[in-house]
A and B are shown apart, each in its own frame.
Chain A
Amino acid sequence: MKKIIIKLNQTILVGVAGLFLLAGNVQAKSDIQKVYENNCASCHGSDHGGYLAPALNSETLKGRSPTALRTLIMTGSFETLMPPFYGRLKDAEIREMVKHLQSTAKQDNPPWTIKDMKASLKVYIKDESTLPSKPTYQIDSMDDLIGVAARGKYGRGKGSKAIFINSKTHKIVGEIETGTAAHIIDFDPANERWAYVKTDTAEVFKVDLYSMKAVRSIKTGFNGPALGVSRDGKYLMAGSFVPHNAIILNSDLEPLKLLELEGVDPDGKKVSSDSGMIIGTPFADIFAIALENAGQVWVVDLKEGFPITKIKNVGRHLHDAFLTHKGQKLMIASYDDSVVIAIDLKTRKIIKKLKAGCVPHVGGGAAVKVNGRTLGFGTNFGTCDNNTVVSVWDLDKMEVVKQIPVSGGTESPAAHANAPYVAVDIITKDRRARTIQLIDKKTLEVVKTLDVGGHAYFPEYSADGKFLYVSAGYAGDEVVVYDSHSLKKVASVQMESPAGIFSRGRVKYMTRGLSPDEME
């Protein structure tokens, strides 16, 4: 009996030791995965499948020199958002990371359920009635606010903020720390005091613009920029790349309905899809959402049960969109077939597919009225086959007017009813990335190139059209302000890695360039 007990003890000991060993292994593995999650995932994707930045997994990094990868992590990559991790990660961690990335397959979609979302809701200010009843800073009109998504050099940390500027004085009036890189800022069309900020790690912040404080936040997924606000300000919808879903929230950021983004793509294959753009419209109580990989646009009615109308075979890889005709028509870009598709949100049918440039990325789009015509402007990421253009369409006739040659790939057009030029950002990764090109609304030709410096992108006009704001992005760390007529530089606002710029004026003119009075 004694013997047996001893034996048993030994077995238990061995067992326990084994457990420790096992735990040690698991621990080590999850440690480096944690380092990935805390430093890399917001740009490269929580699933290692890529997001703003390339996918990092055993497939994509096959055959790459570990030394070269280690150097890249240490020094960062010039002309991209990749920061130097020297001094932030230990050399041993960087070496282990390279090994980890080269041996880890792209992960399955990690689950993030409605329950997880509910548990992630943070309330910073419980009683909204305690908030001030008017702005606590000097501003003529709340439309003069311009929000800038400052990414922060590392895409996270103290530099990651939503920064609000009074576009008449060019002074910062508020800063909201967002923890990770702010990506999208949407304003409540019905109540001027609210704005919503979405980060690259899919947190949504509700911001009180009067006190410049975050009121609440919720984590809606792991990665994904899509966010829309309904015309009455009562609903929000946020969509993710990881995992493949979208959530309808109320204005207290409480989750109401989760949509799994699955559909049959134009090749007849059933696919699970990233969430492309989500947009609310002044036309109706609906959201439109693009299923990137399924090539479908879903129209969600904001009523009992949130019924969905699915518009199929829209395009091969849908991404972003803009509205026209009082918000009844949606112009959506399809990356892979180089078209922009016009959709009627009333009949919920495709009107027409219009030729764009190479890899269209309309980035919020622009529309201007010239000589009785309403012209839509679409930027294009790509530069293939010398087809480097900004596309112009007649939005009434739904036909191509011109493909305007520009000096490189473009990401986002800005226009204003009171400004003479449509501004587009050249993003081709060389010295051209420092520039913004200006297209004359009347002649539809590039008439001027501004050398902003840094990686200049996301032009935006102030609500009165008098000033053009441009992010001198990473390597610039400032927002530069120009007079929109003389194109003279009038101000510089310092911040860390500014990206998207969003004027509150957008809720008035719906699409940039249209008149705020007519809302056409």
Chain B
Amino acid sequence: MTKLIMVLLLMAVVMSTAAQAASIYAGKAKAAEVCSQCHGVRATSSDAPFPPLAGRDEEYLKMALKQYRDKTRISDIMNNIAGSLTDRDINNIANYYSRLSK
């Protein structure tokens, strides 16, 4: 019985981490859909007015996206784009871009 509870508990722990962990693959897909058109994958165009995102600090990326979404940081285009992102999207995207080498 104790064994079974232990196993169940363990499973619960594993499952909850899985649910919270940001997915680099989901981040890649979302970035391709939403971000890379302007910010590029590893680098943005040498002529583009957009900052590159590859290799940036994960926490910073999350914070910036949430600020754009909440409109505490103002940019007409980013407020619109970030407005469509969920917390999970933001975690995934930040996870993906922060781990890409420049």
Report the stretch among A112-120, A149-157, A299-307, A357-365 that lies at the interface.
Answer: A149-157
A420 in contact (CB, < 8 A): no
Given contacts A75-B37, A494-B42, contact A87 B47 (CB under 8 A): no
Q: Are A87 and B49 in contact (CB under 8 A)?
A: yes
- The answer for the CA separation of A142 and B101 in the assembled complex, in Å, is 32
Distance in Å: Cβ of B52 to nearest Cβ of chain A? 11
Question: 6 nearest interchain CB pairs?
Answer: A87-B49, A153-B45, A157-B47, A158-B46, A84-B38, A159-B46
Q: Are A87 and B45 in contact (CB under 8 A)?
A: no
Given contacts A76-B37, A86-B77, contact A475 B32 (CB under 8 A): yes
Q: Are A157 and B46 in contact (CB under 8 A)?
A: yes
18 A-B residue pairs with Cβ-Cβ distance under 8 Å, sorted by A, are A74-B77, A75-B37, A76-B37, A78-B37, A83-B37, A84-B37, A86-B38, A86-B77, A88-B47, A88-B48, A153-B45, A154-B45, A159-B45, A159-B47, A454-B41, A475-B32, A475-B41, A496-B46
Task: Report the interface size for chain A: residues with CB under 8 A from the other chain.
Answer: 24
Q: A75-B37, A86-B38, A152-B45 are in contact. List 16 more A-B contacts (CB 8 A).
A: A75-B38, A78-B33, A83-B37, A84-B38, A88-B47, A152-B46, A154-B47, A156-B47, A157-B45, A475-B32, A475-B36, A475-B37, A477-B43, A478-B42, A494-B42, A496-B45
B60 in contact (CB, < 8 A): no
Q: Considering only CB atoms, which chain A residue lies closest to B48 in the complex?
A: A153
- The answer for the CA separation of A497 and B47 in the assembled complex, in Å, is 13
A476 in contact (CB, < 8 A): yes
- The answer for the CA separation of A475 and B40 in the assembled complex, in Å, is 7
| A496 partner residues in chain B, CB cutoff 8 A | 43, 45-46
Chain A binding surface SS class? loop
B25 in contact (CB, < 8 A): no
Chain B binding surface SS class? loop
- The answer for the CA separation of A211 and B44 in the assembled complex, in Å, is 28
- The answer for the CA separation of A446 and B79 in the assembled complex, in Å, is 45
A305-335 contacts to B (CB < 8 Å): none
| A475 partner residues in chain B, CB cutoff 8 A | 32, 36-37, 41
Distance in Å: Cβ of B43 to nearest Cβ of chain A? 7
Task: Report the interface size for chain B: residues with CB under 8 A from the other chain.
Answer: 17
Q: Considering only CB atoms, which chain B residue lies closest to A157 in the complex?
A: B47
| B38 partner residues in chain A, CB cutoff 8 A | 75-76, 84, 86
| B47 partner residues in chain A, CB cutoff 8 A | 88, 152-154, 156-159
- The answer for the CA separation of A76 and B32 in the assembled complex, in Å, is 14
- The answer for the CA separation of A494 and B33 in the assembled complex, in Å, is 20
Distance in Å: Cβ of A175 to nearest Cβ of chain B? 12
| A152 partner residues in chain B, CB cutoff 8 A | 45-47
Q: Are B49 and A477 in contact (CB under 8 A)?
A: no
Of the listed residues B42, B47, B49, the one surrounded by the most CB atoms of chain A closer than 10 A to its CB is: B47
| A74 partner residues in chain B, CB cutoff 8 A | 77
| B46 partner residues in chain A, CB cutoff 8 A | 152, 157-159, 496
Q: Contacting A477 at CB < 8 Å: which of B33, B42, B50?
A: B42
